[in-house]
Amino acid sequence: MRISTSMLTKISLDAMLNQQAALSNTQLQVTTGQRIISPSDDPYGSSRSLDLQESISLNEQYQVNAGYAKNRLNLEESSLTGVGNAIQRVRELMVVANNDSQTPESRGFIREEINQLLDQVLALSNSTDSNGEYIFAGYQGKTKPFAVDGAGNYSYFGDKGSRLLKMSSSTSVAMGDSGEGTFLTIKNGNGTFQTRDHTTNTGTAIVDPGTVYGTYVPDNYQVKFIPPATGDLRDPLEYYVLDGQGDVIVPAAYVGSAEGAYLTDVQNRVPASAGVQYQEGAVIQGLDTLGIKISIAGKPAISTTPVLSETSMWPVANGPYPALTGGDGFDINPSKFQSLFATVKSFSDTLASNQGSETELTKFHNSVNRSLIDLDQAMGRVLDVRSRIGARLNTVDKQIEINESFSLQMNETLSSIQDLDYAEAITRMNLQLTGLQAAQNAYTKIQDLSLFNYI
Amino acid sequence: MSTGDMLKTGISGLQVFRRTLSTIGHNISNVNTDGYSRQVVDLASRYPTPSGDGFIGNGVRSVTTKRLFDEHAAEQVRSRTTTSEFFAEYFEFSSQVDNLVADPDAGLTPAIEEFFDSLQEIADDPTSIPARNVMITNAETLVARFDTMDSWFSDLQGAVNDKIVNEVTVVNQLANSIASLNNDIIVAVGIGGNQPPNDLLDKRDHLIDELSKHLNVSLNENRNGTVNVYVGNGQSLVLSTRAMQLAAQRNPEDPTNFEIAYYDPSSGTSSSISDMLSGGDLGGVLAFREEVLMPSINHLGRLAIGIATEFNTQHNKGLDLTNNLGGDFFNVPYLPSWTVGDPPVAELHATESINNTGGDTIAVRLNDIKNLTTDEYELTYDGANYVLRNLETNQLDTLVVASGPIPTRFNTIYGMDIELSDTPDVNDTFFLRPNRQGARDISVAITDPNLIATAHPLRTGMDISSNSGFGTISEATINDYANPDLMNSVTITFRNSLGLAAPALADVIDFNGVGVGLPALAVPYVPGATHSYNGWDIVLDGAPEDNDVFLLEANINGVSDNRNVLALADLQTAGTMIGGNASFHDAYSDMVVLVGNLTHQADLSYEAQSALLSQAVTLKDNLSGVNLDEEAANLLTYQQAYAAAAQVIAAADEIFQTLLNAVRR
């Protein structure tokens, strides 16, 4: 086959140019360290590396979010630690104040400390973060959430919102708790019902907060005391229980009967009218089917007009009792929401109440007992929230680790897709250099070959 | 035999060998001339002189000087030149787009990432004004990036147009030269007595080779040695000695793009032949525009419209720091979905054909982003049906008229709500280019950081002071943002069956507030049921107690609420594009892969075609190329022959002298 001289030149030249082009591409790869210089080098790989870069960037943002959440949760945790300590101190003071050895003066000192603690809790509940955002205000972070008016009423201006932060495409964490959930929506009493002495009580009976026994049937119940059916006031007093409709539900024989009818029966000593005999400190009977277990200790007062004397007798033969005008009573109401502030404030008010007479002291004790159980509820809530914060911080830490390892993996994958294998590239470059040199050598050799040199 | 005959014979050798030697010289001189074909002198013995004892030879003569040329090989070179130039040009333009789209500095990905990152920063700290300002700045960067890429694509469009103009000029010049060489060839053949004008033929064939670099040509040789050159679908560019002209002109239906027009002298009309041209630089640049550039512009436009529209839709659902529902965050040419009774709207995302006689205008509303394609469409009214043709795939769809005729509106198709101002004339045509302007049309509408709608418009809660039960109220979800009563406060009171007069035996809830259907009293309470008023939905659940109160109210001063900004940030990875399966990022990736693949293919094809071209050239040169070694050998051969012929003359002279000497004696 004939080869034209120009073709011979062109072939060698093309070989050199191709080697140079390949070499320049390899050189670009080596200097940038990238296998893919432009998408056409590996369209699928470059799309994949774009995807990975986006995931990595998103992941970095998730780490920033997680860091932010951590800061906020730590801040909240430290505020709530302060609140918890204050509650603990209030509780100690309650126990001290409840002791009969205390005098009205010493209780006044306790009250001063309580008020200071209350201010402290208020300040903590109005905590702000470094940006001046109130951390317990719900969504209304620029509105001071808690305020007290001149009458000592505490108000909340926030809401129940708490914002979520994304820590991964599928994980979010609440970066706080609202003041509503933390300080306000706390059930009073034992969390299900609250026992409360009637304000008109004149005896020395003290009610305990009670416990839930079985299924609680919510209603506003009352336990009321009446004289014994025997007419002998040396016998134990008796009591009956009303439901919210004013029907007598204990003793069982009277279920559904209105209180007025029952009292008339008691007064007239109709045989079935006997109440339940009161034993000091014993469980009030007939309430177990309602899920309520309470006991009353001390001496309740009964009242009649004219007043019955404890030492005198009112024999059955004397006929009806004097008119029954309502003895001591106790309410058993479903628990309601009561804020931490209201609980402490109520205790503070109790400390300021008169404690001169037995009756007043009994009221005082009943009130302090109520405050104690209410405060325990508040303490429980603060502990709940703190443990939730702990759990969240835990989640955040775990997620940060997961994100880190995810990021590492993705960077590795990205690297395997777009980064250059230097060993391979350098070898290739050497090979190409050798090829180019060979092509150049061949070119000059071939150019030297001409028959004309020999003519 | 006379001495004179012998001289004549010797002289014939001298003459012919000198001619041969000069042809060899010609070959050697033209060793580097493009398009030159090796020439050889055909030799034949001269007619012999008859005598009684046989024919006496009379030496040598040259029959002709011919070029060694194979039309088939030349045709191969031409067709492979055309193909390889096509891919070379395609690759050259395409690689420019290719380098841009994935560039970490100039590409779109980093800007999208940073924009959404700044949303997350706001979600972390919604009250921070600096974070909000950063987000607005990042949005402006994103818009600027769209704009930069788009204007860069426009520049490429301009470069393509310039290229077309240049190419057409070159093609016209070549056509003129070929025609004039055809003329020279006719003349030369006449003068040379039908001997082939080798160098003129080479020159013309070389020009045709040159022409084939620019576009696909086919040839037809005439008997007089001239050729006709055809382009496109058989449009004649050169007819013997006459050259036709191509013209570069703006496409009247799409003025940003140039097209190539052919003036047909027989019909006297000028028509576009862009679609018929293939191969060569011109074909390459046209294919690049159709396959890479315009789709890239449309991809980019769709992404811009997609981000802006989807973002606005969610932004409108939030509450900003001024306690108003969010406005549009991006400016984007947009019209909400039409409702019955809407007046006709001005031209949008589409144009009317200049040939239309009806004078009706067209508008396209883009509300259904996920079904929007990157294709362009042509809508034609045939008197009975409205036919939509996809200009990429030629898929035909008959539109379903939803209302009309003033304006005529159609059911949504491919994400487009099409609207014509009236029934057009028969055969009126409209061009729908929904994404073409997208990337340059968007801008950031908000400059005040307080106007970024980060919060949810509503919040719910309960009356803490009175509630004793364990009922819960969900966050409100909104189903109708346009509801005028949306932000009205509503109080929800639970009443249990015990507290109700007979015959009510079930628990009920009362909704008190202002709005359609409100107040709604004694609505049966079913735990976990959804209740909807004023455009919102809420779920009440759990065990509330009698007279427990729940509240729903506008989220006034809800500055720390990040619910809407979280929803905005979620758009980054949500399937909002391409049938609802692709995120913004995926849609961009799609474009990168498209461009990358086409560029990669062009590169591979170019390499393959240049190898084939190289083979074809080798094959052609096999016959036509000059080999200096061969010429050197021939040079020696004919030098020796020339010397020998001279010796014949010397011998004849010697014989004659010998005779003279003998006679003188």
What's the mean pLDDT in A128-132?
A: 87
Does A149 share its domain with A218? no
Average pLDDT of chain A is 88
Pair (A63, A132) in one structural domain = yes
Is the CB of A38 less than 8 angstroms away from the CB of B102? yes
Q: Is residue A41 part of a domain?
A: no
| Res B503: pLDDT | 43
Residues A322, A202 share a domain: yes
At residue B300, the pLDDT reads: 92
Return contacts of B51-57, CB within 8 angstroms, 24+ apart.
Answer: B56/B1, B56/B5, B57/B9
Please give the pLDDT value at position A313. Answer: 66
Residue among B98, B116, B629 whose CB faces A40 most closely? B98
> B625 and A139: CB-CB below 8 Å?
no
Q: How far apart are CA B237 and CA B229, in angstroms?
A: 5
CA distance A50 to A63: 20
Q: Which residue of A has its CA nearest to B323?
A: A140
A321 and A198 both lie in a single domain: yes
Decide if A433 is inside a domain: no
In angstroms, the CA A161 to CA B40 distance is 99
Inter-residue contact A168 to B583 (CB < 8 Å): no
User: What pLDDT is attached to residue A271?
Assistant: 72
Q: Which residues of B touch A449 (CB under 8 A)?
A: 629
**In the prediction, which pLDDT does B501 show?**
45
Cα distance between residue A444 and residue B596, in whole Å: 39
Judged by DSSP in three states, A243 sits in coil
Q: What Å distances lie between residue A186 and A386, B67, B467, CA to CA?
A: 15, 109, 11
> Å from A340 to nearest chain B CA?
12
The residues, any chain, with a CB within 8 Å of residue B39's CB and separated by 6 or more, are B23, B26, B27, B65, B66, B67, B68, B198
Same domain, A329 and A343: no
Q: How far is A272 from chain B (nearest CA, A)?
A: 29
Same domain, A286 and A344: no
Of A292, A316, A335, the residue that ends a domain is A335
A139, B323 contact by CB (below 8 A): no
- pLDDT score for B206: 92
Q: How many structural domains is chain A composed of? A: 2
Dist CA A80 CA A178 (whole Å): 12
Residue A175 lies in a domain: yes
Say which of A5, A38, A139 has its CB closest to residue B626.
Answer: A5
Q: Report the gap between the CA of A61 and the closest CA in chain B (Å).
A: 6
- Residues A164, A134 share a domain: yes
pLDDT of residue B500: 46
Beta-strand runs (E) in B425-505: 429-432, 443-444, 458-462, 470-473, 477-478, 490-495
CA distance A232 to chain B (A): 40
Q: CATH number, domain at A98?
A: 1.20.1330.10
Q: Which residue has the higher pLDDT, A11 or B61?
A: B61
Residues of A within 8 A of B562 (CB-CB) are: 163-165
Interchain pair A4, B126: CB under 8 A: no
Chain B residues with CB-CB distance to A38 below 8 A: 95, 98-99, 102, 596, 599
Residues 6+ apart with CB under 8 A from A291: A192, A212, A213, A214, A215, A216, A217
Determine the distance in angstroms separating the CA of B561 from the nearest CA of chain A, rounded to an integer. 5
- Whether A160 and A221 share a structural domain: no
Whole-number Å distance between alpha carbons of B195 and B599: 49
DSSP bridge partners of A292: A212
pLDDT for res B641? 92
Q: What is the DSSP letter of A205?
A: -
Low-confidence ranges of chain B (pLDDT < 70): 1-3, 104, 338, 340-341, 344, 497-506, 665
Alpha-carbon gap, residue B275 to B282, rounded angstroms: 11
- For B108, name the nearest residue in chain A, comparing CA atoms only: A50
What is the per-residue pLDDT for B194?
81
- pLDDT 10s digits, A202-253: 889 999 999 998 888 888 899 999 888 777 777 888 899 998 888 888 888 8
Asked if the structure places residue A428 within a domain, the reply is no
The bridge status of strand B235-239 relative to strand B227-231 is antiparallel
| Residue A303: closest CA among A321, A317, A315 | A321
| Closest-CA residue of chain B to A5 | B627
Boundaries of domain holding A371: 53-188+338-419
Residue A18 maps to a domain: no
- Chain B nearest-CA distance from A179, in A, is 12
Question: Is residue A426 in some structural domain?
Answer: no
Structural domain contains residue A427: no
Task: Give a yes or no: residue A438 inside a domain.
Answer: no
Cβ-Cβ contacts under 8 Å, A54 against chain B? 109, 112-113, 585
- Decide if pLDDT at A440 tops 80: yes
Pair (A239, A182) in one structural domain:
no
Q: What is the pLDDT of residue A399?
A: 92
Chain centroid to Cα A191, Å, comes to 16
Say yes or no for a CB contact (<8 Å) between B596 and A185.
Answer: no
Closest CA to B419 of B431, B434, B403, B433: B403
Instruction: Name the residue in chain B with its Cα closest to that of A142.
Output: B559
Smallest Cα–Cα separation from A182: which of A447, A411, A318, A383?
A383
Tell me, yes or no, whether A200 and A330 share the same domain: yes
Spatial separation of the C-alpha atoms in residues B196 and B178, rounded to whole Å: 17
Contact assessment for residue A315 and residue A202, using Cβ atoms and an 8 Å cutoff: no
Q: Each residue of A95-128: pLDDT tens digit?
A: 999 988 888 888 999 999 999 999 999 999 999 9
* Calculated CA dihedral for residues A65, A71, A75, A80, nearest 10 degrees: 70
Does A280 share its domain with A202? Answer: yes
User: Residue A259's pLDDT is what?
Assistant: 86
| Geometric angle at alpha carbon A224, from A222 and A229, rounded to 5° | 145
- Please, what sign has the CA dihedral across residues A383, A384, A389, A395? positive
A204 and A301 housed in the same domain: yes
Q: Which of B466, B562, B633 sits opposite A451 (nearest CB)?
A: B633
Q: Are the Cβ atoms of B603 and A61 closer than 8 angstroms? A: no
Using an 8 Å CB-CB cutoff, list chain B residues near A61. 116-117, 120-121
